[in-house]
Amino acid sequence: MHDTESDTFVYRTWPEKFSDILKEIGVDSESKKIGTDDVEKGDYYSRYFANTVRMITNRGCLEVKNSNIDVIQIVQKG
């Protein structure tokens, strides 16, 4: 590293990163802890389609304010 760069890295979760991205375009949102929302307790996939991946990782949720959208769930296909 260069002398002008900091040696400290701030760990941020995916919901925190996406919340910052949405803030840049004017959407007010708040990140939630993983596993705390009801939407995260269900299945993330459908077994009816052959091309659907069965291994899905939950990355967390965002609560969107002042919108018709209540929650955005972030999932990762495996």
- Kindly give the confidence (pLDDT) of every residue in the chain, 78 residues in length, as a single tens digit, with 9 standing for 90 and above: 567 777 788 888 889 999 999 999 999 999 888 888 888 887 666 666 666 666 677 888 999 999 898 898 888 876
Angle CA 13–23–30, to nearest 5: 50
Residue 36 confidence (pLDDT) = 85
Residue 52 confidence (pLDDT) = 61
Q: Is residue 49 situated within a structural domain?
A: yes
Q: How far apart are CA 20 and CA 28, in angstroms?
A: 9
Contact 29, 66 (CB under 8 A): no
Q: What are phi and psi of 27, to 5 degrees?
A: -100, 120
The distance of Cα 33 from the centroid of its chain, to the nearest Å, equals 10
Q: Is residue 21 situated within a structural domain?
A: yes
The residue with tokens 């375009």 is 25
Instruction: Give the chain's domain count.
Output: 1
Q: Is residue 45 situated within a structural domain?
A: yes
Prediction pTM value: 0.69
Range of the domain at 73: 14-77
Residue 51 confidence (pLDDT) = 67
